[in-house]
Structure 1
């Protein structure tokens, strides 16, 4: 951390960025429709990678294929249907984030390290909580 001598005011202008874009990634050059098309392609690649390489994601997708139509059938109102569906989709979102964390950790190092284990365990705990949300939402709507 940079310190200034006592009684000397800090010149904030000297620390201001030279342009309005701070630490812009060199991969962020596209705008408009091209950016949307690229983002959609990257999303499809992400879904494909997760489906091919992550057993848990694949299992949760198959579960979603069963539960989402069931949610439409069993939900008594649009709000109930939305809650049932959203809870299932939440699991997929959290699993994707967990898989991304695991991939980033494994890319950094395949050696066993306490922080790598901690990152993976925390991601796993997030998936567990998302699954609990499914159980609670479905249980309350269908059995309460």
Structure 2
């Protein structure tokens, strides 16, 4: 099955922005993390540390948002497949949530290591 459209920069950007718009409308976790990112970025700018440390904090913070987007995609696919309770569906969603949790832990550990 080949239902992939040909690559087109502007169309693909439109698809990406459409996905972001959907997540902003429907995913409260992403909205909270994006709101926190505003303060995290301000903290990164204000903290007195090397540019490489600032980059580590920025990348680990953006990683949280990326993993949350992937988790939201997983949840949407699972919901598409079944609306009823299914152990494997729950497991898939739980694993996605675990990925987000580890990304957040990584980000917090980076902050702790840089501040100490």
Report the TM range for the smaller structure's normalisation: over 0.9
Tell me which stretches of 4 or more aligned residues in structure 1 moved more than 4 Å: none
Look up the SS of the partner of 1:86 in the other structure. helix
Q: Which TM-score applies when normalising by structure 1? A: 0.77
Q: Which runs of 5+ in 2 are unaligned?
A: none
Q: Which TM-score applies when normalising by structure 2? A: 0.94
**1:27 CA displacement:** 3.4
**Which residue, 92, 99, 110 being the options, matches 1:119?**
92
CA RMSD of aligned residues (A): 1.2
The answer (yes or no) to whether the contact 1:75–1:81 under 8 Å persists in 2 is no
**1:75 CA displacement:** 4.8
Look up the SS of the partner of 2:4 in the other structure. coil
Q: Which runs of 5+ in 1 are unaligned?
A: 1-22
Q: Deviations over 1:78-103 (max 9, x none)?
A: 10110111111000000000000000
Alignment of 1:102 with 2:79, yes or no, is: no
Q: How many residues align?
A: 116
**Which residue, 104, 110, 113 being the options, matches 1:140?**
113
Name the CA distance, whole Å, in 2 between partners of 1:133 and 1:81.
Answer: 15
